[in-house]
Structure 1
Amino acid sequence: MTAWIVLPVSLSAFSITGIWIVYAMAVMNHHVCPVENWSYNVTCTEELPRPGFPKTCCTIQDIPLISKCGSFPPESCLFSLIGNVGAFMVVMVCFLRYAQVIEHSHHCWVNTSALVSGCTNAVGLVMVGNFQVDHAKSLHYVGAGVAFPAGLLFVCLQCVLTYRVAVTTLDYWMAHFRVALALGAMISLVFSGIFFIHESFVLQHAAAICEWVFTVDILVFYGTFTYEFGTVSRDTMMAGLQQGEHASGVIMGPGSRGSTLGGASKGLKSPGGSSTSTHLNCTPESIAML
């Protein structure tokens, strides 16, 4: 076991807890209406705020979309912090997972595409967190349009990779669980988009609920990497860095190739276990790519 197992679960716990705190702050500050509210009005007269109680008169501007919850201070400050810290942790998770798959001699376009989509997701999160929808709508929507599809693509590609590197029965069960999460994320994102383009209050509210489901689903998916990260080591990180140098056109010397070959020829561990190990089908060509 290594300390890296803390990273994925921290990403999930920090982000999920954080966005719900942002939502609670927005409701208490009368910036959005509670998610259980389904009654909306075309217009509302000015009402006196009741400290500690949510709004009683809601319009379409008060629908509790995640972005809307983080539009106004003080909750907007926390929303930006969550976006920035979460994006950094996403990049770390994506790189470690990329390196771990390479360590199992499964360097392929799927793994590279997963890394790119994960980092693209992080860029979108930074834009969403720092450009609030009520103050920089165009940039915010660009960020959301980048983050959501990229996040969905990342989880789908990781489902494929989980099956490819699976060794034990438990590995395959984790792959099945991730497929279920990916399907849930895909369905919720599609319905969110369909409902969001309508002007109906009910459908707009349904879009907000689907957006919350999608976001929490993706964050739970990131948390599942705790299962594999118990086997992450210094060799894992070196495999990722060396592959990055290779992809950048850096020519490695004979000594470097020899030491890489020696490290890759060791018995490879099951992705989710610290004690189970097995030799996978590694060809000299795939090992040399490391």
Structure 2
Amino acid sequence: MVWFMEGMCFLPTFLVIWSSSTFIISYIIALVRRDVDIILPYISDTGATPPESCVFSFMSTITAFAAFATMYAEYKFVERVHEKTGAVSPCLNKVSFGFGIISCVGMCLVATFQETVVMAVHDIGAIIFFTCGVTYVVIQSVISYRGQPYGCSKWMCYFRMFFAAVAVIAVIPTIFCAVPVGTSKLHWKTDDKDYALHMASVACEWITTFSFVLFFLTYIREFQEFTLKLTVNIIEYS
């Protein structure tokens, strides 16, 4: 059997590859068309103008659903770990999954409402995505630590904590540097007002986003160890 078909491994594998492709492909298209600057545009800037906006919306929506499926599989795995060991709080697991669902909704809002068309909804979606996404990876790092020696290895647990810490550190300037500047401007010059704040926000946005991608990358080995089964119960009416 091919390694990415073992257990549920295909879920995080697809998520990592597809999400990375989403950001890179839309960036390349926008760059070729000169719709964005070559140096660190906002990720949303690369999906603000047709035709890249169509590609970005389509691929980001699939990314959100793939993230939801991966989070759900992890939720069920942790639930089973608790049943066997009692090491992980069911409440903590549910809270983590709840934040994960909300972050996926935020991503859908970002994908659907372009910043140059409906900026208010787009920005709200981005804030929801980043804040809830960061909360999810932090809680999952705690769950991974408490769930040892079941689930991921000790070193993989450390990697998750590292990526979670990077996301926490990077998301703060991502949001707070963007607030006084705004996100609707696609082209910037070095002598523009607030250029430094803009660049700090953009750089941290890319760091936060790919810390999420790398965090889900750590799921791959763990997902090889379990499968999910769908049970159909037919209700008989008298």
Common topology (TM > 0.5): yes
Moved over 3 A (4+): none
CA deviation string 1:99-124 (max 9, x = no partner): 00111124521100111011111101
2:224 aligned with 1:230, yes or no? yes
1:86 to partner: Cα distance: 0.5
Q: Give secondary structure in 1 for the equivalent of 2:9.
A: helix
- Return the alpha-carbon distance in structure 2 between the equivalents of residues 167 and 204 of structure 1: 43
Q: How many residue pairs were aligned?
A: 211
- Does the 8 A contact of 2:56 with 2:111 survive in 1? yes
1:205 aligns with one of 195, 199, 202: 199
Higher mean C-alpha deviation, range 211-220 or range 226-235:
226-235
Equivalent position of 2:28 in the other structure: 24
- Return the alpha-carbon distance in structure 2 between the equivalents of residues 113 and 170 of structure 1: 20
- Does the 8 A contact of 1:35 with 1:209 survive in 2? no
CA deviation string 1:158-211 (max 9, x = no partner): 001101111179711111110100111111111222322344112202211110
1:67 aligns with one of 44, 48, 54: 44
Q: Share of identical aligned residues, percent?
A: 27
- Return the alpha-carbon distance in structure 1 between the equivalents of residues 152 and 73 of structure 2: 21
Structure 1 unaligned spans of 5+: 37-63, 242-290
- Return the alpha-carbon distance in structure 2 between the equivalents of residues 234 and 18 of structure 1: 27
1:134 aligns with one of 101, 116, 120: 116
2:153 aligned with 1:167, yes or no? no
Residues 170, 94 of structure 1: CA spacing in aligned structure 2 closer, same or farther, 3 A cutoff?
closer
1:142 to partner: Cα distance: 1.4
CA deviation string 1:27-74 (max 9, x = no partner): 2212110116xxxxxxxxxxxxxxxxxxxxxxxxxxx11111100111
Higher mean C-alpha deviation, range 131-140 or range 23-32:
23-32
1:89 aligns with one of 66, 73, 83: 66
1:148 aligns with one of 95, 116, 130: 130
- Return the alpha-carbon distance in structure 1 between the equivalents of residues 199 and 95 of structure 2: 34
1:14 to partner: Cα distance: 1.1
- Does the 8 A contact of 2:110 with 2:122 survive in 1? yes
Letter in 1 for 2:49: F
Residues 234, 32 of structure 1: CA spacing in aligned structure 2 closer, same or farther, 3 A cutoff?
closer
- Return the alpha-carbon distance in structure 2 between the equivalents of residues 194 and 214 of structure 1: 14
TM-score w.r.t. length of structure 2: 0.83
Higher mean C-alpha deviation, range 189-198 or range 126-135:
189-198
Equivalent position of 1:214 in the other structure: 208
- Does the 8 A contact of 2:47 with 2:53 survive in 1? yes
Residues 234, 21 of structure 1: CA spacing in aligned structure 2 closer, same or farther, 3 A cutoff?
closer
- Return the alpha-carbon distance in structure 2 between the equivalents of residues 110 and 9 of structure 1: 25
TM-score w.r.t. length of structure 1: 0.68
Structure 2 unaligned spans of 5+: 83-87, 182-193, 233-238
Query: Could you say which structure has the larger radius of gyration?
Result: 1
2:39 aligned with 1:35, yes or no? yes
Higher relative contact order (CA 8 A, sep 6+): 2
